[in-house]
């Protein structure tokens, strides 16, 4: 009777364990990242770019396949955005209220992962973005490629409306109008984060 109970107990533990998957998380740091913002007015197109993204993230791979992304946050100094037109850059800094809001922040909430093929995925990342002191929900659709050397490449585009962040360009030429839509292009390369060994 005791042997039967022991077997039943072990079988129960085994069945329960099948429903549990321990997902090891690897911390990744941003090796390099680029964000580009572009838009249109009635008299020309504009584009600014920053190579100064800061980000951290946890990406979990099971049997070489991406399984979990959490968290995924990033920030960019407003004044790191530049173009060939310095006068326009200064105007955009004012629109983005670089003082006192000197950073653009994205804070991760949820990510869904859809496999696209070998080592390729589509990440739908939902988060809260803070621009010019206003926070709004933003969804980023990023394509991710996971390489065998543990590098992760993320890239994608989205569109945001300036008016949602109470950004209304001023000092435009007479009779000029602007498009409320701003195209956001993101490219990021992550590498595993290696903690420094503490000396004894």
List the chain domain ranges: 23-192
**Rounded to an integer, what distance in angstroms lies between the CA atom of residue 40 and that of residue 54?**
27
Compare 95 and 150 and report the one with higher pLDDT.
95
Direct distance between the N- and C-terminal alpha carbons of the chain, in angstroms, rounded to an integer: 55
**In contact, 156 and 188? CB cutoff 8 Å:** no
For residue 28, what pLDDT is reported?
77
For residue 20, what pLDDT is reported?
42
For residue 109, what pLDDT is reported?
92
Residue 198: pLDDT above 50? no
CATH number (2.40.128.110, 2.30.40.10, 2.10.60.10, 2.60.40.10) of 23-192 reads 2.40.128.110
For residue 27, what pLDDT is reported?
72
Residue 42: pLDDT above 90? no
Q: How confident is the model at residue 13 (pLDDT cuts 50, 70, 90)?
A: very low
User: Rounded to 5 degrees, what angle do the CA atoms 115, 119, 125 make?
Assistant: 50
User: Rounded to 5 degrees, what angle do the CA atoms 119, 125, 131 make?
Assistant: 135
**In contact, 144 and 117? CB cutoff 8 Å:** no
User: Encoding tokens for residue 130?
Assistant: 């803070």
pLDDT in tens, 85-116: 998 899 889 988 888 999 999 999 999 999 99
pLDDT in tens, 106-147: 999 999 999 998 889 999 999 999 999 999 999 999 999 988
**Rounded to an integer, what distance in angstroms lies between the CA atom of residue 38 and that of residue 46?**
6
User: Encoding tokens for residue 134?
Assistant: 């206003």
């Amino acid at each position: 009777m005791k042997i039967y109970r022991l077997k039943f107990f072990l079988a129960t533990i085994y069945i329960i364990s099948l429903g549990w998957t321990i997902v090891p998380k690897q911390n990744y740091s941003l090796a390099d990242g680029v964000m580009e913002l572009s838009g249109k007015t009635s008299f020309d197109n504009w584009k600014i770019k920053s190579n100064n993204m800061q980000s951290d993230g946890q990406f979990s791979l099971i049997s070489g396949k991406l399984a979990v992304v959490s968290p995924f946050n990033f920030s960019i100094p407003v004044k790191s955005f530049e173009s060939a037109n310095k006068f326009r850059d200064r105007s955009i800094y004012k629109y983005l209220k670089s003082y006192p809001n000197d950073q653009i922040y994205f804070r991760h909430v949820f990510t869904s992962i859809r496999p696209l093929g070998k080592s390729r995925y589509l990440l739908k990342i939902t988060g809260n973005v803070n621009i010019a002191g206003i926070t709004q929900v933003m969804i980023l659709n990023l394509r991710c490629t996971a390489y065998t050397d543990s590098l992760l490449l993320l890239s994608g585009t989205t569109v945001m409306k300036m008016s949602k962040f109470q950004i209304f360009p001023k000092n435009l030429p007479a009779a000029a109008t602007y498009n409320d839509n701003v195209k956001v292009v993101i490219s990021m390369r992550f590498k595993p984060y290696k903690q420094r060994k503490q000396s004894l």
